[in-house]
Amino acid sequence: MNSSTLSISLDFELLWGIFDKVGTTYKPQYFANTRDLVPRMLDLFAENNIQVTWATVGMLFADNEEEWKAYSPEYLPSYRVKELSAYEWVKVNGIKPEVHFAPELIKQIIETPDQELGSHTYAHYYTLMRGQSPEQFRMDLKATQRIAQDKFGVTLKSLVFPRNHINELYLPICLEEGYEFVRGNPKNWFWQETQHESIGKKVFRSADCFFEVGSRSSYPISEIKPYPNEPLVIPASRILRPFKKENLMMNQVRLNRVKSEMENAAKKGEVYHLWWHPHNFANAPQESMKELRELLSHFKRLQDNFDMQSLNMAGIGEVFKQSIQMA
């Protein structure tokens, strides 16, 4: 694959992704906005022929609490910090369908051209937290594949680890359970060992979204290295940070940084892998969608001028496998 590539992966999770951070203090409108935004994003991607991987928490596939329980694995994660478990959270706070289930949105993702339904594990599983085990992780992955196949007839190929907690010892399990492609972290030091957060890492990660702090974020396809008995790890380049209404000037600085990185990747024939959570748009839906339209218009110019292509994670993986076979 010699031409440059824009890849987009989204971590679709609703409350399952942040319950351990916000508890019951979340604003219902925030997730109502998120649910409204997903079809709008899908329409925009379809209009522009943009391939996207939607790494989705498996629990969102369920219609109701009964189905959620039926597909939950026999062995639940035994985190030392119980508050990290989605199952423990539900025991205390109960299920609210509007923030816990979204099968109609999953169906729309599948029915939209060039969209790949991927996995964000069944229960937003943290593979680097103490107390859980490889077998519990395997059961979580099995639950996700089972509900995807039973309800939507889809076998999931791409996986994104929640909180970017990449446990390399678990990679063979991913492949054994059908996941051929995994999103990796950017190579900068402040994206490594994300289970051990520090003020320094957070400051550098935030600064790098506005200014050139870390090393170049795009990469040649040759930097993706296949390893025996493991899925192909496709590194991320940049998270698209949320629009901030209180600082309009810095929003443009942040957006220009992404556009500049996209252009550099296009000129160098490299991969630029952008990601975010759909709920990141929920505090400023109109402004966020305007930014996304601006980014996709920029991509169209790069496509015209440099033959940049759009590929989701499975698309990159399949092209990579073909290039290996031809070599």
What pLDDT is recorded for position 203? 47
Written as one letter, the residue type at 13 is E
Tokens of 323: 């290039």
Provide the pLDDT for residue 223: 87
CA distances from 307 to 3, 234, 257, 300, 311 (A): 7, 21, 21, 9, 13
C-alpha separations of 1 from 179, 191, 217, 220, 299 in Å: 22, 26, 18, 9, 18
**What is the model's pLDDT at position 161?**
97
Q: How many CB atoms lie within 10 A of CB 25?
A: 6
Range scoring the smallest mean pLDDT among 177-186, 246-255, 284-293: 246-255
The pLDDT tens digits of the residues spanning 302-312 come to 999 999 999 99
> Residue 116: exposed, middle, or buried by beta-carbon count in 10 A (0-12, 13-18, 19+)?
buried
pTM of the entire structure? Answer: 0.92
Domain that holds residue 193: 5-326
The CATH number of whichever domain residue 34 belongs to comes to 3.20.20.370
Largest CA distance in the chain: 55
Q: Regarding beta strands 238-239 and 232-235, do their DSSP bridges make them parallel or antiparallel, or are they unpaired?
A: unpaired
pLDDT at 222: 85
Tokens of 276: 């975010």
How does pLDDT run across 208-225, given as a tens digit for each residue?
A: 555 465 557 899 988 898
What is the overall mean pLDDT for the chain? 91
Distance CA 246, CA 191 (A): 26
Report d(CA 278, CA 34) in Å as an integer: 6
Determine how many CB atoms are found less than 10 A away from the CB of residue 98: 12
Residue with tokens 């899925």: 231
- For the segment 14-38, the average pLDDT, to the nearest whole number, is 96
Residue 327 binned pLDDT confidence (cut-offs 50, 70, 90): low
CB 159, CB 137: distance < 8 Å: no
Q: Number of folded domains in the chain?
A: 1
Q: In the prediction, which pLDDT does 325 show?
A: 66
pLDDT by residue (tens digit) across 105-132? 999 999 999 999 999 999 999 999 999 9
Strand 238-239 relative to strand 271-276, pairing: parallel
Tokens of 34: 């998120």
SS3 274: strand
Distances (CA, A) of 110 to 52, 152, 319: 11, 8, 21
Name the β-bridge partners of 182.
Answer: 159, 233
pLDDT tens readout for residues 145-189: 999 999 999 999 999 999 999 999 999 999 999 999 999 986 743
